[in-house]
């Protein structure tokens, strides 16, 4: 890579660089989040599905995250490796890595689909599907069609970062947007016009995923920096052993989230049955349905937080490499402020307008218990959203500083040790409310760790005098 072509990363105002790099990343992640939340909105507003359908959607959601974890391990790892090899002028390794990644995506997608179809009922039960008979039936219907789309979903999600590594972030974003648009258009048609129920919601999602995958295939035939050949499409084991570990952090981040969701959903299932109101058959599915809605809203907030952080990675990396620790520190400060503002805005929404939020998800068709529990869930479960966004941003910022091990370790502590631990322990004392307390308790303790990491990182970003003099000379030359 020509160093001069990226010299502006060392000279342009930090705020301007944040906007240029973070906004496209935020948009891409928000669009990806739409796939799940759009289904839930239309399902909730169908009077013949309602909270039963919402609960079913919540049960299946972690299983789509499993597919995503595989996709990001292959895609993010290949993206990082290809970027490095292209920077070194090694196009041979680049095209072979991409071809190998394509085959791995196809194989992984087919294998996961087969596993899901063979073990459908045990898997759904593991994630709380046995709330009641109606929810379990709807979860099975939705899951069957979603499972058929898994190969397309993995392929499209894995190719997205690979396309970005080829220098086409706008096409990567457009392919995801196109798939989401198909889902948004077809969901109401299939659910309200054809009345296909959960099958309609799932089929609309899968058709959107197929379009994203098809656009990715088209791009593979028209790549800019890399040209794929027949020999590219082999499982080049030596290269796979190099790029897959680079995506391990992304994989662990997603799969640990699945573990936390499994614990939370099972505790919700168990303690709903013991609750004096939700223990009644006609209301048992409500806590699971509401929990899914709150998780989907939180996913939107976290998509913004992750997008802000991921967008800053190339800027931070370049300035660290150039010895401009002062600029990296300034970026870290502004970035943390942006994360706090994001969390603060979300907090104001959930605390001041929870009824408006739940109204979007079909509250008018449900009992008063649905609305009351949803309001409580939003206000309690997400009461420390500011800390959650700062925590998530800190994890990713550590990656940009080359501290992948520290980032992964803290992320695992948050999701597995605290997320799973509190979800299992707090309900023993507080019942169903304990499930809600698990989120803020996890974020509070994680923030205590992150605060120590942030203060230490600030100290490591103090530039020495020789670096400042060298940076001043480079800036003068670029001016």
Convert the pLDDT of each residue in 205-242 to its tens digit. Answer: 999 999 999 999 999 999 988 889 888 999 999 999 99
Q: What is the pLDDT of residue 3?
A: 43
Residue 454 half-sphere exposure toward CB, CA atoms < 13 A: 22
For residue range 410-467, list pLDDT tens digits in order.
988 999 999 999 999 999 999 999 999 999 999 999 999 999 999 998 888 876 655 5
Identify the CA nearest to 135 among candidates 212, 14, 204, 52: 52
Rounded Cα gap, residues 23 and 327, in angstroms: 20
Of 148, 75, 66, nearest to 113 by C-alpha is 148
| Sign, Cα dihedral of 129, 432, 417, 70 | positive
Res 465: pLDDT:
54
Contact 382, 293 (CB under 8 A): no
3-class DSSP string for 312-334 = HHHHHHHHHHCCCHHHHHHHHHH
Residue 461 tokens, joined: 């970003």
Q: Enumerate residue ranges in the chain where pLDDT < 50.
A: 1-5, 472, 479
- What values do phi and psi take at 438, rounded to 5? -65, -35
pTM, entire model? 0.84
Q: What is the residue extent of each domain of the chain?
A: 10-26+259-479, 45-243
Residue 458 Cα distances to 13, 174, 330, 332, angstroms? 20, 37, 10, 8
Residues 6+ away with beta carbon under 8 Å from 60: 124, 127, 139, 142, 143, 146
Contact 288, 128 (CB under 8 A): yes
A 10 A CB-CB count for 465 gives: 7
Geometric angle at alpha carbon 415, from 384 and 309, rounded to 5°: 65
């Amino acid at each position: 890579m020509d160093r001069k072509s990226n010299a502006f990363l060392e000279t342009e105002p930090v705020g301007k660089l944040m906007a240029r790099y973070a906004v496209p990343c935020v948009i891409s992640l928000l669009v990806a989040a739409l796939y799940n939340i759009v289904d839930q909105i239309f399902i909730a507003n169908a009077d013949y599905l309602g909270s039963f359908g919402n609960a079913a959607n919540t049960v299946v959601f972690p299983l789509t995250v499993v597919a995503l974890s595989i996709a990001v391990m292959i895609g993010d790892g290949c993206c990082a490796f290809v970027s490095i090899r292209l920077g070194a002028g090694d196009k041979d390794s680049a095209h072979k890595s991409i071809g190998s990644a394509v085959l791995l995506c196809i194989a992984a997608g087919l294998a996961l689909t087969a596993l899901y179809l063979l073990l459908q009922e045990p898997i759904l039960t593991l994630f709380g599907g046995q709330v009641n008979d109606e929810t379990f039936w709807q979860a099975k219907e939705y899951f069957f069609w979603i499972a058929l789309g898994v190969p397309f979903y993995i392929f499209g999600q894995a190719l997205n970062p690979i396309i970005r590594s080829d220098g086409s972030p706008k096409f990567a974003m457009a392919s995801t947007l196109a798939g989401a648009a198909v889902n948004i258009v077809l969901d109401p048609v299939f659910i309200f016009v054809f009345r296909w129920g959960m099958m309609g919601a799932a089929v609309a999602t899968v058709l959107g995923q197929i379009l994203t995958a098809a656009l990715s295939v088209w791009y593979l035939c028209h790549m800019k920096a890399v040209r794929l050949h027949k020999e590219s499409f082999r499982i080049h084991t030596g290269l796979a052993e190099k790029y897959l570990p680079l995506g391990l952090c992304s994989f662990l981040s997603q799969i640990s989230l699945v573990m936390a969701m499994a614990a939370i959903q099972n505790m919700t299932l168990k303690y709903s049955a013991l609750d004096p109101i939700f223990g009644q058959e006609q209301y048992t599915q409500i806590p699971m349905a509401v929990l899914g809605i709150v998780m989907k809203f939180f996913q939107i907030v976290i998509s913004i937080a992750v997008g802000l952080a991921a967008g800053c990675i190339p800027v931070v990396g370049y300035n660290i490499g150039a010895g401009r620790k002062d600029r990296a520190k300034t970026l870290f400060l502004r970035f943390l402020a942006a994360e706090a503002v994001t969390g603060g805005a979300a907090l104001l929404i959930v605390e001041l307008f929870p009824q408006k939020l739940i109204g979007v998800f079909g509250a008018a068709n449900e009992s008063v218990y649905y609305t009351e529990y949803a309001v409580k869930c939003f206000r309690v479960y997400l009461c420390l959203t500011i800390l959650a966004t700062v925590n998530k941003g800190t994890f990713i910022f550590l990656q940009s500083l080359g501290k992948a091990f520290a980032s992964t370790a803290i992320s695992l502590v948050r999701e597995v040790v605290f997320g799973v631990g509190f979800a299992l322990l707090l309900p023993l004392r507080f019942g169903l409310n304990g499930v809600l307390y698990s989120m803020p308790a996890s974020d509070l303790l994680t923030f205590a760790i992150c605060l120590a990491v942030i203060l230490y990182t600030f100290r490591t970003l103090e530039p020495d005098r020789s670096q400042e003099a060298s940076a001043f000379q480079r800036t003068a030359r670029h001016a």
